[in-house]
Amino acid sequence: MLRQVHSPRVDAVMAAERAATFTKRSIKKSSKMAGLRLALSTLDLTTLEGKDTPEKVRSLCVKAVNPGTGQSDLPDNLPSVAAVCVYPSMVKFCKETLEELGALGRVKIASVATGFPSGQYPLDVRLEDTRKAIHDGADEIDMVINRGAFLSGKYDVVADEIRDVKATCLREGAAVGRPIALKVILETGELETLDNVRRASDLAIVAMEEAKRAFAGDGATKRRSDEGKAPATSNGSPNGTHINGSPTLDTSKPRNLGTSTFDFIKTSTGKVTPAATMPVTLVMLEAVRDWYLQTGQLVGVKPAGGIRTAKQSLHYLVMVKETLGSLPTVGTSVDDQHPGGWLTPELWRFGASALANDILRQISWLHTGKYRAQYDVTEA
Amino acid sequence: MTTADTNAPSLSGPASSGKPAKPSKPGWDYSPAPETVKVDIASTYGLFIDGKFQTPRNAERFATINPATEETLSEVTQASDADVDRAVKAAHAVLPKWAGLPAIERAKYIFRIARRIQERGRELAVLETLDSGKPIKESRDVDIPLVAAHFFYHAGWADKLEYATKGRRDGATKGKKALPEVAPGVRPVGVCGQVIPWNFPLLMAAWKIAPALACGNTVVLKPAETTPLTALRLAEIFEEIGLPPGVVNIITGDGRTGKALVEHPLVDKVAFTGSTEVGKRIAKATAAPRPDGKFKRLTLELGGKSPHIIFEDAAIDQAVEGIINGIYFNQGEVCCAGSRLFVQESIVEEVTKKLEIRLASLRVGDPMDKNTDVGAVNSKEQLSRIEHYLKLGEQEGATLRRANASTLPKKGYWCRPCFFTGVQPSHTIAREEIFGPVLSVLTFRTPEEAISRANNTAYGLAAGIWTEKGSKMLSIAKQIKSGVVWCNTYNKFDPTSPFGGFKESGFGREGGVQGLKAYLDG
């Protein structure tokens, strides 16, 4: 089947101009503190190196659960980060450590899979990569798309592969009894143009949806027979994945996201320059907004790579706030506040490693009026 | 305070009708971020004539207020006919000396003005925002940098005018009283009487003064009565940098002062930016020859009802951004504001929805807050004019969409940005200039209809075209009767680019090589 993609075109000049306006907002005092805590709570604390070891991953997990442990210059109620993000071989160590810390499920385990970062492996290897990561304990799978196929115009190949990975997530998720979120990495640095970014975003969103529909169709008969066994969710889907948003959403009532798991589109692997940029992320936010306007369904966005400073993270949060507006969603709360829209770890993530420490330094400065030295912030 | 109450929209589903949902309490919002620079404002200001501030005896005064707080900022002088006469005579007296300076010396003065404006940029931005109500973000990032840019650009022209006037040879002004040449065969026009509006107070002063000085003319400038403070601050800069007395005179006052200036027999050239109504009166007043038989030169930059045309093959999200910028920039108080939006019928629902979403995110309020997108309407009078059109639009059958729910300050003149749908070409709101944050959304079916509807107006100042198809863009641009056509962008100003109108939007160009023409004889 030859896939037709009718994505809106993107004007790169105006998109860059718009993205730049988000960096002009003045975020000070209490809004800065709230923003930094929000950024921390939506962070996928990441280590993706060839030299990663179980010990390195353990220290990452400890930091992820309690970023401010025993540090007197930080407020003692700092939120945990949203997830740790590691290579598949490290997932089991994450699981052990988070279990010991009693944080399993609260801090998610995200695993890159599908032959990350290049994706240049046979499909069966990539799917097995995904399956193993899930069985080892991953809650979230960060897959890479087939950029070679995309750039040679074989959109159906790209979409079919995304569908296959999503189907694997749904199937294996049902097997292990936990909803698995899929994050589709577009590797926008290799797609280069914003037109491509938009097209790849739309393609990924639709492919994931197709896989969910197919799975729901297959499972419908089976589900009727073992009703009550599967964890019930707000929308009744077998694995808690949100399938059918009503197209006429009542936005007057806060919408509780708590029991649903949402899929994401993600900018980059972090292995290609440029990684996440604001115009790229803006285009992806517009894609999920348009999808929401058309179908009422929610898809998350994760910029990854290149976001190193607290200030940058605030710029991104401003962009999310001003682009995806005021949908009254109730996600995981930070300080009992529900910023609404996409400003919740259910729908927004930062993929970063160095960012956490800069956020902590800035929080420390807001808290005590003093800056910590770089060497005085814990590693990992 | 006068405002109609509105509901907040949320990012609602596709089937949501005009009924907006209640806003949820925002969990993450921006704390107030007030600009903290304080500027000194004198309690009264005199007139800047012949290089110094003068206070005429028994002078009539009037207050200039901050439209965001309704507080009086200062009292300025109403220049009488006698004051105007003194100012024009001062400008006339210094004319031969100024025009006769080596061009590089004139350039040095203008460069000095530009640099001083940059150095005092923050102060000027704050003052502009206080007096006009425009957000500090705009005065800081748009107005003041452009003011400096205009002086820099024209400083560069002063000693290169022969390249702007190739092939032009004067004859008429030769004779005993002829002014010195500023380029081979080319002379200054003389004393320029300039009357400017309140929407971009300092920027309009720069547009007028910079080319006049570069070409060796002298100036009497009257700022608008509601926004005189930055022009008076500019006079201080002239004093500071040692501009020869009389070269620029700045006199404040209402329409009476403007009339006296325009009609003064020693004024050689009138430049006016403002309403079409006043422009027509000025055109009449300057139509008669002066006592010496010569005619006054005249350039007019007047109103507009500029069209945006958005095709279904446009980059829609970016086009919406450009439309928002085109109409809500400076509270819509822009002569080239894109106030008529023509949307291809196939995408009208999508565009309307996205306009609503984007409109909701605009922050209206205290202009001194660095996060404010839309500030206060310039005056009570202007606000009531806008409200008159809002009422009229609904009476004539259009649907008013108030998609913004910003909390407004208790005092001041405010109008939340809004737009009309269901507007027909015959509606008043589609024909008359509103000069406020009000957009009229109309539709079209074919490119030909888009062009004919866009050109179906008394005005012809600016236009915006939104399509990703280059050939269509160029062909449409050629067929739109307006001084500026922006393609896939809007409100881009640059001193190197000429700006001006067709039809009732006026005549003459400002900026670029073309802008020099009005200030040169020959």
Rounded CA separation A99/B174 (Å): 96
A270 touches chain B (CB under 8 A): no
Report pLDDT for B22: 38
Report pLDDT for A377: 80
Tokens 């090589």 identify what position?
Answer: B513
Active-site option among A63, A166, A266, A321: A266
A154 touches chain B (CB under 8 A): no
Among candidates A26, A247, A251 on the partner chain, residue whose Cβ is nearest the Cβ of B370: A26
Where along chain B do its domains lie? 44-302+504-521, 307-494
* β-bridge pairing B506-507 and B297-301: antiparallel
Does the beta-carbon distance from B16 to A324 stay under 8 Å? no
- Residue B175 confidence class, pLDDT cut points 50, 70, 90: low
More confident call, B488 vs B24:
B488
DSSP-derived letter for residue A23 is: G
Report pLDDT for B240: 97
Give me the amino acid identity at A274: P
Q: Is the backbone of residue B340 left (phi > 0), alpha (psi -120 to 50) or beta?
A: beta
Chain A nearest-CA distance from B26, in A, is 6
Report pLDDT for A249: 45
A377 touches chain B (CB under 8 A): no
Q: Which residues 185-224 of A are in CB contact (within 8 Å) with B?
A: none
Tell me what the mean pLDDT of segment B421-438 comes to.
97
- CATH class for the region spanning B44-302+504-521: alpha beta
DSSP-derived letter for residue A76 is: T
Rounded CA separation B65/B484 (Å): 33
What are φ and ψ of residue B455, in 5° steps? -85, -5
Does the beta-carbon distance from B16 to A11 stay under 8 Å? no
Is residue A302 annotated as part of the catalytic site, yes or no?
A: yes
Q: CA-CA distances (angstroms) from residue B13 to B10, B346, B421?
A: 9, 19, 19
Per the prediction, chain A carries an average pLDDT of: 88
- Residue B173 confidence class, pLDDT cut points 50, 70, 90: low
In chain B, residues with a C-beta closer than 8 Å to the C-beta of A323 are 361
- Residue B457 confidence class, pLDDT cut points 50, 70, 90: very high
Give the strands of the sheet with B506-507, arranged side by side.
Answer: B52-54, B47-49, B248-250, B218-222, B191-195, B269-273, B297-301, B506-507
What is the CATH architecture of B307-494?
Answer: 3-Layer(aba) Sandwich (3.40)
Report pLDDT for B167: 75
pLDDT tens sequence across B11-67: 543 333 333 333 444 568 899 999 999 999 999 999 999 999 999 988 999 999 999
Tell me what the mean pLDDT of segment B158-182 comes to.
77
Report pLDDT for A253: 57
Does the beta-carbon distance from A8 to B370 stay under 8 Å? no
With residues binned 3-state (H G I as helix, E B as strand, rest as coil), the percentages for chain A, rounded to 5, are 45, 10, 40
Residue A78, token pair as written in the block: 């700092």
Q: In degrees, to the nearest 5, what angle opens at C-alpha A220 toward C-alphas A215 and A221?
A: 125
Residue B301, token pair as written in the block: 């930059």
Sequence length of chain B is 522
- CA dihedral defined by A58, A64, A70, A74, rounded to 10 degrees? 160
Rounded CA separation B292/B304 (Å): 35
Among candidates A11, A35, A328 on the partner chain, residue whose Cβ is nearest the Cβ of B28: A35
If DSSP codes are grouped into helix, strand and coil, which group holds residue B50?
A: coil
Active-site option among A44, A129, A139, A142: A142
Domains of chain A: 12-376 (3.20.20.70)
A153 touches chain B (CB under 8 A): no
Sign of CA dihedral A248, A253, A254, A256: negative
Among candidates B137, B315, B370 on the partner chain, residue whose Cβ is nearest the Cβ of A9: B315
Q: CB within 8 A of A180, min separation 6: which ones?
A: A134, A138, A139, A140, A141, A169, A170, A172, A173, A239, A261
In chain B, residues with a C-beta closer than 8 Å to the C-beta of A256 are none
Report pLDDT for B84: 98
> What is the chain A residue with the closest CA to B17?
A248
Question: What residues of B are annotated to the active site?
Answer: 301, 335
Extract the runs of DSSP E, i.e. beta strands, from B82-202: 187-188, 191-195
A366 touches chain B (CB under 8 A): no
Report pLDDT for B169: 66
What ipTM was predicted for this assembly? 0.91
Number of other CB atoms surrounding residue A287 within 10 Å: 26
In chain A, residues with a C-beta closer than 8 Å to the C-beta of B138 are none
Alpha helix ranges (H) inside A296-348: 310-324
In chain A, residues with a C-beta closer than 8 Å to the C-beta of B14 are 247-248, 293-294, 296
In chain A, residues with a C-beta closer than 8 Å to the C-beta of B21 are 250-252, 328
Angle between the N-to-C axes of helices B144-157 and B201-214, in degrees from 0 to 180, rounded to the nearest 10: 10
Chain B nearest-CA distance from A367, in A, is 17
Residue A50, token pair as written in the block: 């060839």
Report pLDDT for B21: 38
Rounded CA separation A162/A168 (Å): 10
Does the beta-carbon distance from A26 to B33 stay under 8 Å? yes
The fraction of chain B above a pLDDT of 90, given in percent, is: 89
Tally A–B CB contacts below 8 A.
Answer: 127
Does the beta-carbon distance from B468 to A11 stay under 8 Å? yes
Rounded CA separation A75/A359 (Å): 13
Residue B416, token pair as written in the block: 């939340």
Residue B206, token pair as written in the block: 């720069």
Rounded CA separation B174/B183 (Å): 14
Active-site option among A63, A92, A183, A302: A302
DSSP-derived letter for residue B243 is: P
Rounded CA separation B457/A125 (Å): 65
Does B109 score more than 70 pLDDT? Answer: yes
Rounded CA separation B250/B194 (Å): 10
Rounded CA separation B260/A283 (Å): 55
Go through B246-284 and write b for each residue having 16 or more CB atoms within 10 A of its CB, e for each that does not. bbbbbbbbeeebbbbbbbbebbbbbbbbbebebbebbbe
Q: Kindly give the parts of chain A with pLDDT less than 50.
A: 1, 225-251
Report pLDDT for A133: 98
In chain A, residues with a C-beta closer than 8 Å to the C-beta of B23 are 326, 328
Tell me what the mean pLDDT of segment B178-189 comes to.
91
Tell me what the mean pLDDT of segment B312-323 comes to.
97
Chain B nearest-CA distance from A72, in A, is 26
In chain A, residues with a C-beta closer than 8 Å to the C-beta of B10 are 251-252, 325-328
Does B468 score more than 80 pLDDT? Answer: yes
Rounded CA separation B284/B328 (Å): 33
Is residue A336 annotated as part of the catalytic site, yes or no?
A: no
* Residues from B in contact with A at Cβ < 8 Å: 8-16, 21-24, 26-31, 33, 137, 141, 313-319, 321-322, 353, 357, 360-361, 370-371, 468, 488-489
Q: Which residues 297-336 of A are in CB contact (within 8 Å) with B?
A: 317, 321-328
Q: Which residues 217-256 of A are in CB contact (within 8 Å) with B?
A: 246-252, 254
Among candidates B15, B22, B28 on the partner chain, residue whose Cβ is nearest the Cβ of A339: B28
Does B214 score more than 60 pLDDT? Answer: yes
